[in-house]
Amino acid sequence: MKTIAQSIFIILCLSGKIFTSCADGDFGANPYDPNTPITVSQLPKVLSFTPTEGKEGDVITITGVNFTTATNVAFGGKGASSFEIIDDATIEAIVSSYGGTGAVAVTNHKGTRSLEGFLFIKEIDPTENPNLALNGYATGSAAISGSISNINDDNDKSWWQAAGNDNEWVKIDLGKMYSINTVVMTWDMNAAGTDCDLMISEDDVNYTTIYSIKNWDAVSNDGINKVSFDNANARYVKLANMKNSATPYNMTLFEVEIYNTPPAENLALQKIASASSNNAAAFNAVYGNTSFMWQAEGNDDEWFKVDLGKTYTINNVVIQWDAGAYAADCEILISQDDVEYTSVYSITGWDSATTEGVQDMSFDNVDARYVKALLKNGATPWRMTIKEFEVYKPVSYTHLTLPTIYSV
């Protein structure tokens, strides 16, 4: 009996200890204090949006939290043209004409949060030569001003300003493979990239440099750098190793345009040609084969003329000279009736050595049927000799006229 009583006593003592421990909280304290307020984030959060692509005027439905106090909605860094708060979890926003590809962002009184994955579709007017960069996705090195999406938004009031002045880069994903042959860069004239490598890729891994720019002068080119090259297949176009060695200002790029420019049509090819001397050989200079040529009887006060057959809008004349027998002074005249002529271009002291005998003369668009070159001041004792006389109409692409951010 004593043994049984002792056992019961021990059990009761142990039970009491357990109960006491539970009461004292030794069995595991509850960390929640009902008197401590719970902090809930008031920042917006974008959970999804639909559709995931859109053009100007399209309505995008955005879902998330903390939208009631929203003050701004942006697509790819470009503000929506307008938006309506449906409720705390839903916003309907209208894509603006300058919408961008990238993140959909919502800003409220506490801050901004975003979600990547929106594709802005720029409606391109039908043309022979569309700017392929408009619907591309732009990325680049760090910026101190402007969004990287500004470089292909067709907006004359936006820019991307690099954080530095050396070894910067920008890249445009065209979305699919294209054949391209022209890239146009529009810079702030006082903060331009003087040097860069133009590179292309099909997979964004393996890149090929197709053109290198060194010591380019933005001021003399009005900030517009047009680079032409042989047709190449590319999805990704990158401007790498960009550097501004001309001014202390951070590089500022307004626009990058990418084209597959159709081959230029030489309007003078095998048309009726005449000349001040050796007229019988004038056709050689429009024959289309530089093995044939027109050679003047002298090396001063000569002229060469071509009848295009009908009136065209033109803006470019190219003369391929024998590099050792050319005119240092040249004036281009145009006419529609072969009676009244107007001067559209004039140059003196031209040196064929700088361009290997190719004299490229551009001017404002004019309507002409007859194109005449007045040739003076032969640069050598040899009689002036033209291998080919070419006339061209304007290329169909247009680039933007943009503001200057810096002044010096």
User: Would you call 2 exposed, middle or buried from its count of C-beta atoms within 10 A (0-12, 13-18, 19+)?
Assistant: exposed
pLDDT above 60 (res 14): no
Contact 308, 267 (CB under 8 A): yes
pLDDT for 203-230, tens place per residue?
999 999 999 999 999 988 889 998 988 8
| pLDDT for 19 | 43
> Higher pLDDT residue, 153 or 318?
318
Average pLDDT of span 283-294: 94
Mean pLDDT, all residues of the chain: 86
pLDDT above 80 (res 395): no
pLDDT above 70 (res 126): no
Q: Where in the chain is the domain with CATH 2.60.40.10?
A: 45-120
User: Which class does domain 132-259 fall in?
Assistant: mainly beta
Residue 348 in tokens: 């003196």
Q: Where in the chain is the domain with CATH 2.60.120.260?
A: 132-259, 272-392
118-122, 183-187, 204-208 — which is least confidently predicted? 118-122
Residues 6+ apart with CB under 8 A from 223: 186, 187, 188, 189, 192, 254, 402, 404
317-321, 337-341, 391-395 — which is least confidently predicted? 391-395
> Higher pLDDT residue, 14 or 342?
342
Confidence band, pLDDT 50/70/90 cuts, at residue 51: very high
Sign of the CA dihedral running 276, 353, 308, 331: negative
Residue 24 in tokens: 């004292």
Distance CA 351, CA 114 (A): 58
Confidence band, pLDDT 50/70/90 cuts, at residue 262: confident
Overall fold of domain 45-120: Immunoglobulin-like (2.60.40)
Q: What is the DSSP letter of 300?
A: S
Give first-to-last CA distance, the chain, whole Å.
110
pLDDT for 348-392, tens place per residue?
999 888 788 999 999 999 999 999 999 999 888 899 999 999 999
Q: Among residues of the chain, what percentage have pLDDT more than 90?
A: 64
| pLDDT for 379 | 85
pLDDT above 70 (res 171): yes
pLDDT above 70 (res 402): no
| pLDDT for 408 | 30
Average pLDDT of span 156-163: 88
| pLDDT for 22 | 42
Sign of the CA dihedral running 306, 311, 312, 314: positive
Sign of the CA dihedral running 140, 142, 147, 151: negative
User: Mind giving me the DSSP string for 18-40?
Assistant: HHHHHHHTTT------TTSPPP-
Domain 272-392, architecture per CATH? Sandwich (2.60)
Average pLDDT of span 76-90: 93
Average pLDDT of span 303-310: 96
Q: Among residues of the chain, what percentage have pLDDT more than 70?
A: 85
